[in-house]
Amino acid sequence: MSQYAAVRVFQRQTELRTAGGLSVRDITDEVAEAVRESGIEEGIACVYSPHTTCCVRVNEFESGFLEDFAELLRRLVPIQTYYAHDDWDKRTENICPEDMDVGNGHSHCMAMLLGTAGESIPVRDGEVSLGTWQRVLFIELDRERDRRWLVQVVGT
Amino acid sequence: MSQYAAVRVFQRQTELRTAGGLSVRDITDEVAEAVRESGIEEGIACVYSPHTTCCVRVNEFESGFLEDFAELLRRLVPIQTYYAHDDWDKRTENICPEDMDVGNGHSHCMAMLLGTAGESIPVRDGEVSLGTWQRVLFIELDRERDRRWLVQVVGT
Amino acid sequence: MSQYAAVRVFQRQTELRTAGGLSVRDITDEVAEAVRESGIEEGIACVYSPHTTCCVRVNEFESGFLEDFAELLRRLVPIQTYYAHDDWDKRTENICPEDMDVGNGHSHCMAMLLGTAGESIPVRDGEVSLGTWQRVLFIELDRERDRRWLVQVVGT
């Protein structure tokens, strides 16, 4: 299948308040709705977190698994340990007053370990090509915060 | 270099039977063939796994390394431990009968740790811009199963 | 917001010499400049490492955090351990003479654990949609080497 036409680009930004503490929000329905609104039938959807301590990931949304994964992350990247990022006697760059109360060095490390800020998903016949159990997840690795995510669709 | 033309979108789906147990399939040649078939000279190729316990990754395909990586993954995400995802006394969501015989909580955790479901690769002069040692790998994190992967190419 | 126009594809390659040893280069300004040069207002930018022991990631560029993350990576993927990839008594594939002096099995494992080779970032109003603290980082996981990265922009 190959198409040859004028291109369309669509973007939507969605705001949310997260619960903090490795909480996961299922944003699949909102992504699907944005793709429908875009009118794009064939292309790529890039779902993106513009934050350094959150990420967007595609996996199953099942409570047991999310509990298992939070436990794994906390084991690999312990919260109660020294982080130079949170050492205010030493740190001189990117001073963010609200981070001085509660450190988030572990959240940055988790985000880097998890990978990219977003996920790119093929769009076909006007739908994101998610598999049976795949859901689009917005993962908060830091405390309860105001956040946002973007979906950018490029195609025909 | 900048191009200004009508856009093309191309998709191909490929089915495969995996060997299970952290097996890795080199799908580079099939990706390259799909890009050639698309007729797209400049753009982005998104190679995507629509499964929650597989992923597509770009790295070297060398037996020793794949062995090292499987050992690392098994060390970080042990198979023989408790996973709430596999606790059928407790679990109530997304019941999948075939998962009741052999749990795959560890496979989901591995997939999340590894990152996104797919990889996006630049396409230039009709070829994916892979480096000398880069190969496109389809990684099975669960048991032997029927799987599929998508390649979506957007460009000119 | 939805656009309907002729597509543009832009690519730029940038060369660099890395410092080795989990060094991180902030390439945000160069990515932003490439997007401006592309003339693309709305689309997706794919920033890509064509190497198997480097990756491009989006996160904060703050010395303390980068130190924390390097320590985490070295803890999860120790350098001083056996890697079949570096076992020249056993290895027969992809022989690369310069790797025989200093093994890089751990660098490959780190790259796979970190995720994809690149990052895809939405472009809006002619700018990459990075959040306040987000920077585009080129991460060297191997020794000091000559490297390059690509940015591919597709849009209108």
Q: Scanning every residue of chain B, which has its alpha carbon at the shortest distance from the alpha carbon of A134?
A: B52
- Residue among C1, C2, C112 with most chain A CBs within 10 A, to mutate: C2
Predicted pLDDT at B1 = 45
Predicted pLDDT at A86 = 94
Predicted pLDDT at B101 = 80
Q: How far is B32 from chain C (nearest CA, A)?
A: 15
Question: Contact A56/A138 with Cβ under 8 angstroms?
Answer: yes
Question: pLDDT band for position C101 (50/70/90)?
Answer: confident
- All residues of chain A having their beta carbon less than 8 Å from the beta carbon of residue C64 are 83-87, 90-91, 93, 105
**Mean pLDDT for chain C overall:** 94
Quote the CA–CA distance of A41 and A61 in Å, as a whole number: 26
**Mean pLDDT for chain B overall:** 94
**In this structure, what DSSP letter does residue C75 have?**
H
Q: Which residues contact A147 (CB under 8 A, 6 or more apart)?
A: A15, A16, A17, A18, A49, A51, A54, A138, A140
Nearest to C155 among A9, A52, A90 (CB): A9
Question: pLDDT band for position C98 (50/70/90)?
Answer: confident
| Contacting subunits of C (3+ beta carbon pairs below 8 A) | A, B
Tell me, yes or no, if A7 comes closer than 8 A to chain C by beta carbon: yes
Quote the CA–CA distance of A112 and A53 in Å, as a whole number: 9
Quote the CA–CA distance of C114 and C73 in Å, as a whole number: 9
Residue C123 or residue B102, greater confidence: C123
The half-sphere exposure of A11 on its side-chain side, counting CA atoms within 13 A, is: 18
The half-sphere exposure of B100 on its side-chain side, counting CA atoms within 13 A, is: 10
> Which whole number is the average pLDDT over C6-21?
95
Quote the CA–CA distance of A49 and A119 in Å, as a whole number: 9
Residue entry with tokens 């090509």: A129
Q: What is the 3-state secondary structure (H, E, C) of A24-69?
A: EEECHHHHHHHHHHHCCCCEEEEEECCCCCEEEEEECCCHHHHHHH
Q: Which residues contact C92 (CB under 8 A, 6 or more apart)?
A: none
- All residues of chain A having their beta carbon less than 8 Å from the beta carbon of residue C120 are 46, 48, 116, 118, 120
Q: Scanning every residue of chain A, which has its alpha carbon at the shortest distance from the alpha carbon of C65?
A: A85
| Contacting subunits of A (3+ beta carbon pairs below 8 A) | B, C
Tell me, yes or no, if A149 comes closer than 8 A to chain C by beta carbon: no
Tell me, yes or no, if B122 comes closer than 8 A to chain C by beta carbon: yes
The half-sphere exposure of C68 on its side-chain side, counting CA atoms within 13 A, is: 28
Q: Please state, as a whole number, how many other Cβ atoms lie within 10 Å of the Cβ of residue A93.
A: 11
Tell me, yes or no, if C120 comes closer than 8 A to chain B by beta carbon: yes
Q: From the DSSP assignment, how many helices (H) and strands (E) are in chain A?
A: 3, 9
Q: Scanning every residue of chain B, which has its alpha carbon at the shortest distance from the alpha carbon of A129?
A: B50
Quote the CA–CA distance of A76 and B16 in Å, as a whole number: 33
Q: How far is A17 from chain B (nearest CA, A)?
A: 23
Q: Which residues of chain A have pLDDT under 50?
A: 1-3
Predicted pLDDT at A1 = 45
- Determine the angle formed by the axes of helices A105-114 and A63-76, rounding to 10 degrees: 110
Quote the CA–CA distance of C73 and C76 in Å, as a whole number: 5
Predicted pLDDT at C4 = 54
Tell me, yes or no, if C70 comes closer than 8 A to chain A by beta carbon: no
Among the listed residues B36, B20, B24, the one whose alpha carbon sits nearest the alpha carbon of residue B12: B36
Tell me, yes or no, if B103 comes closer than 8 A to chain C by beta carbon: no
The ipTM assigned to this model is: 0.95
Predicted pLDDT at B138 = 98
Burial (CB count within 10 angstroms: exposed 0-12, middle 13-18, buried 19+), residue B123: buried
Q: What are phi and psi of A152, to 5 degrees?
A: -120, 120
Question: Contact B106/A64 with Cβ under 8 angstroms?
Answer: no
> Which whole number is the average pLDDT over C71-89?
96
- All residues of chain C having their beta carbon less than 8 Å from the beta carbon of residue B134 are 50-52, 117
Residue entry with tokens 């080795």: C20
- All residues of chain C having their beta carbon less than 8 Å from the beta carbon of residue A57 are none
Task: Decide if pLDDT at B41 tops 50.
Answer: yes
CA quadruple C47, A74, C73, A80: dihedral sign = positive
> Which whole number is the average pLDDT over B112-134?
98
Cα end-to-end distance, chain A, whole Å: 13
Predicted pLDDT at B4 = 53
Nearest to A42 among B9, B91, B96 (CB): B9
Quote the CA–CA distance of B35 and C62 in Å, as a whole number: 39
Q: Please state, as a whole number, how many other Cβ atoms lie within 10 Å of the Cβ of residue C131.
A: 18
Quote the CA–CA distance of C131 and A49 in Å, as a whole number: 8
Task: Decide if pLDDT at C99 tops 80.
Answer: no
C43-48 and C146-155 beta bridge pairing? antiparallel
Quote the CA–CA distance of B59 and B137 in Å, as a whole number: 7
Q: Scanning every residue of chain B, which has its alpha carbon at the shortest distance from the alpha carbon of C40?
A: B2
Q: Scanning every residue of chain B, which has its alpha carbon at the shortest distance from the alpha carbon of A60?
A: B52
CA quadruple C109, C115, C116, C118: dihedral sign = negative
> Which whole number is the average pLDDT over C42-62?
98
Among the listed residues A143, A129, A128, A57, the one whose alpha carbon sits nearest the alpha carbon of residue A96: A143
- All residues of chain C having their beta carbon less than 8 Å from the beta carbon of residue A96 are 133
pTM of the predicted model as reported, rounded to 2 decimal places: 0.96
Tell me, yes or no, if A115 comes closer than 8 A to chain C by beta carbon: yes
Quote the CA–CA distance of A147 and A52 in Å, as a whole number: 11
Q: Scanning every residue of chain B, which has its alpha carbon at the shortest distance from the alpha carbon of A123?
A: B152
- All residues of chain B having their beta carbon less than 8 Å from the beta carbon of residue C108 are 59-60, 65, 68-69
B107 SS3 class: helix
A18 SS3 class: coil
| Element containing residue C34 per DSSP (H, E) | helix C28-38
